[in-house]
Amino acid sequence: MWRADDRRFIFVTGKGGVGKTTVSAALARALAARGKRVLIAMCNAKERISSMFASELVGPDIVHIAPNIWAVNTEPEHAFEEYGRMMLKVPGLYRVVFHNKYIRSFLPAVPGLSEWAMLGKAWFHTTEVDAEGRHRFDVVLLDAPATGHGLDMLRVPKVIVEIVPPGILRRDAERAWKMFTDPAQTAVLIVTLPEELPVTETLELIAAIDDDLRLPIGALVVNGVLPVLFSEDEARGLVTLLAEPSESAASANPSGADGIRAAARRAAEERAQAASLARLVAGTGLPRIHLPYLFEDASAPAAIERLSANF
């Protein structure tokens, strides 16, 4: 079983709606239960983590939401200002810079700067230490924006390292990039569904990360896996039944026919799922973590707890 335990930074990515936030919460729960202090960093997201932990709402300031778990929902503007305050240590100077109307309207327009503000802040929290020299957080878990934007975000420190002249910005980006590219410290977790299109996009995403960014992918998380109810033979039989016009059966026994149709639909879903899983296995040698499809509210604390057993 793949374990994230020794990593300092985990980047949870994948297409929109595949379950990144659910996975981030479940993984955080698992790590916290094993004694790790975890920070879940979200990127200006619609806040849903509080329902997963039955906690207070999570905004741009770090809050403690469960034993060993903290969370923050980073807003780019807020993060710029925090960064500015750290960099421009002269009291008042950051206010002049960051409260300047021109700069305020200009900063978000610099390509990549909003992404770096959020990613850089998440990275910064891996570097914080308390008075005893102990890391404030053992691991920072970044619940990344959906695929395209997630990749854009990861590309920013690489670009800064490559093109920005030496200075504070470049120094931090270099330190962050060193951590992100180190498989001992960082893992990218790719969340996907056992369905045709998400699998195709996942294989493309893996290729893009391997070819271009060269970041260490820890594992694939296949979310929403249906338990298999039917054997190959049963499935084939049922799917044939579904394809046949069943008026006579329906008129003879309407509720029985409905039952058969439901079973046939399920068998068809299971076959499609098996085909998608086979494509994932053939297309990558990455470790896989399967999360079951939950026939309940997956954002309830009990569901997150249940899913955490897979990490």
Ligand X SMILES: Nc1ncnc2c1ncn2[C@@H]1O[C@H](COP(=O)(O)OP(=O)(O)O)[C@@H](O)[C@H]1O
Residues near ligand X (CB under 6 A) are: 16-22, 48, 223-224, 291, 293-294, 298-299
Nearer to ligand X, 17 or 287 (CB): 17
Please tell me the distance from the alpha carbon of residue 190 to that of residue 20, in angstroms, as a whole number. 8
Total residues binding Mg ion (CB under 5 A): 2
In the complex, what is the shortest distance from the CB of residue 21 to Mg ion, in angstroms, rounded to a whole number?
3
Q: How is residue 174 written in tokens?
A: 């270099």
- Measured from the CB atom, the residue of 21 and 186 that comes closer to Mg ion is 21
From residue 17 to residue 36, the character string flagging contacts with Mg ion as x (rule: CB under 5 A) and all else as - is: ---xx---------------
Q: Which is nearer to ligand X, 126 or 223 (CB)?
A: 223
Asked if residue 32 lies in contact with residue 66, where contact means CB atoms within 8 angstroms, the answer is yes
> Which of residues 220 and 291 has its CB atom nearest to ligand X in the complex?
291
- Non-local CB neighbours of 129 within 8 Å, separated by 6+ positions: 135, 136
Q: Considering only the stretches 15-23, 132-140, 261-269, 282-290, report the one whose residues sit in contact with Mg ion under the rule CB under 5 A.
A: 15-23
Shortest reach from residue 255's CB to ligand X, in Å: 27
**CA angle, residues 114, 181, 135, in degrees to nearest 5:** 80
| Amino acid at site 309 | A
d(CA 267, CA 258): 14
User: Encoding tokens for residue 211?
Assistant: 């070819």
Alpha-carbon span 218 to 59, nearest angstrom: 28
20 or 125: CB nearest Mg ion: 20
Query: Among residues 68 and 192, whose Cβ is nearest to ligand X?
Result: 192
Q: What mask, x for binding Mg ion by CB under 5 A, covers residues 44 to 63?
A: --------------------
The answer to whether the Cα torsion of 139, 140, 143, 149 is positive or negative is negative
289: helix, strand or coil: strand
Angle in degrees, CA 188, 127, 63, rounded to 5:
80
- Residue closest to Mg ion (Cβ): 21
Q: CB 58: neighbour CB atoms within 10 A?
A: 21
Q: In the complex, what is the shortest distance from the CB of residue 219 to Mg ion, in angstroms, rounded to a whole number?
A: 18
Tell me: does residue 73 bind Mg ion (CB under 5 A).
no
User: How many Å apart are CA 184 and CA 86, to the nearest integer?
Assistant: 28
Q: Residue 206 CB, nearest distance to ligand X (Å)? A: 17
Least Å from the CB of residue 19 to ligand X: 4
Spatial contact of 100 and 114, defined as CB atoms under 8 Å apart: no
* Between 76 and 224, CB nearer to ligand X: 224
Task: Find all residues with CB under 8 Å of 46, minimum gap 6, and list them.
Answer: none
- To ligand X, the closest distance from the beta carbon of 172 in angstroms equals 27
Q: Which window, 16-24, 167-175, 247-255, 265-273, contacts Mg ion (CB under 5 A)?
A: 16-24
Select the binding partner of residue 22 from Mg ion, ligand X, none (C-beta < 5 to 8 A, by kind). ligand X
Closest approach of Mg ion to the CB of residue 153, in Å:
14
The crossing angle, in degrees rounded to 10, of helices 76-87 and 113-127 is 60
- Provide the minimum distance between the beta carbon of 21 and ligand X in the complex, in angstroms, as a whole number: 3
Instruction: Report the interface residues with Mg ion, using CB under 5 A.
Output: 20-21
